Structure formats: structure tokens, C-alpha cells
Copies of this chain bind each other. A is one copy, B any other.
Amino acid sequence: MTPTAIDKLNNYFSRFIKIGEKEQAIIASLFTERRYLKGHYLLQNGDLCRKVSFVTSGATKTFYVDDSGKEHIIMFGVEDWWVADLSSFITQTPSDFNVQCIERTEVLQLSFEGRKQLFQEIPEMERFFRIITEKAYVATQKRIIANYSKSAKERYIEFCESYPSIANRVPQYMIASYLGISKEFLSKIRNQMSQ
């Protein structure tokens, strides 16, 4: 039997925390399942980010549109990833980011109030969210270093090695945007690599 969305979330949590019947019930009561079609938005800039989404299937891109109208992809979200504009979520101010589905996507959503309640009812969740945030912070810091100290080609190779499942799944022009280079230049790099 294929696991349901909520099964996937429980499995995910139980890799880090003891999830018994009581915890399962709390989780089930606080998360809401939602499905989106390809192209649909979980969040559009200007909106308040009212919930964090745990992706159970599909794929999303989180991007920023700059003053000249150009898209900059901040991150991809696939199975077992959390997506949100954390800045908007924690301060409850309008979002600068967009989160759009690049495939048909299924998520479980937790509201701002829901998360508070989750921390109250399962205190280890507070610790758990601290830890995943620390990890996200470290990953972001590594990305800044890579941007400063490596060439576009090196970053592309690293990306393909670190996230093969994403590299093989999303169009190249999106990878270029994530890497901070033009799609033409990525094409050149790939051509060069295949020689």
C-alpha cells in the first residue's frame, strides 16, 4: 500500500523524534493536506506567508523577481523539504518571494498558530525546528561561499552532485537561475563538459 501524505510526514518526523499515537493525532489535527497543479502558486509576492508547507510529492521553485523583472530562483522544494518565505512567515509581513509548482505537487501545511500549538503540545518539536533551521542556515552560508570562491562551472558540477534528483528533474534554465548565471552560459558550460 502506498503511503499517504500524512504517513510520509510521520515517517519524516520519526527519523528525528519519537512519534507515538498521541503525537500522530496532534500532527494530523494541525496539518492540512493540499494539492496544486503545475504552474500554481503556494505563495505570491505581496501575500502574507501564513503557513509552512511540507512537500510530500512534486516539486516547487521559490523565486524572487528583481526590479528589472528577472526571476532568481532561491531554492527548489521536493519530497521531504519544507517550503515557505520564512521571513514573511516569522514576521507576518508581505512576502518578497514566490513559491510556484513546477510539477503537480502535494503538500501538508502548518499555519503560524498551528506551529505555536505544535511546539506547546510536543516540546521536542521546538528543538527539532531549531535544528532544521540551523541546517538550513549552514547550507545557505555554504552557498554564499561557493558563489564567491568558485566558478560557474564548479558550482554547476557541485549542484549536480549534491542534488542529482533535482538536476535531472527541473529544466536547465531554472538550474541556471538557481546558480545565478544565464541559461546561455550554462549551455556553454555543458557543451564544454561534454567534449
| Residues of chain A having any CB pair with chain B under 8 Å | 64, 66-67, 70, 72, 74, 86-87, 90, 119, 123, 126-127, 129-131, 133-138, 140-145, 147-150, 180
Contacts and interface: CB of A to CB of B under 8 A. Distances in A.
A150 B72 CA distance: 11
A138 B90 contact: yes
B149 A64 contact: yes
Contact of A141 (B66, B70, B87, B147): B87
Nearest to A180: B148
Best-surrounded residue of A119, A141, A150 (most CB of chain B within 10 A): A141
B72 A149 contact: yes
Contact of A137 (B70, B140, B150): B140
Given A130-B129, A136-B137, A137-B136, A144 B74 contact: yes
A126 B131 CA distance: 10
Contact of A127 (B119, B131, B141, B148): B119
Given A119-B127, A130-B130, A72 B136 contact: no
A41 B179 CA distance: 33
A86 B127 CA distance: 16
Contacts of A72: 145, 148-149
A176 to B, nearest CB: 11
Contacts of A142: 87
A41 to B, nearest CB: 19
Given A127-B126, A133-B130, A133-B133, A141 B74 contact: yes
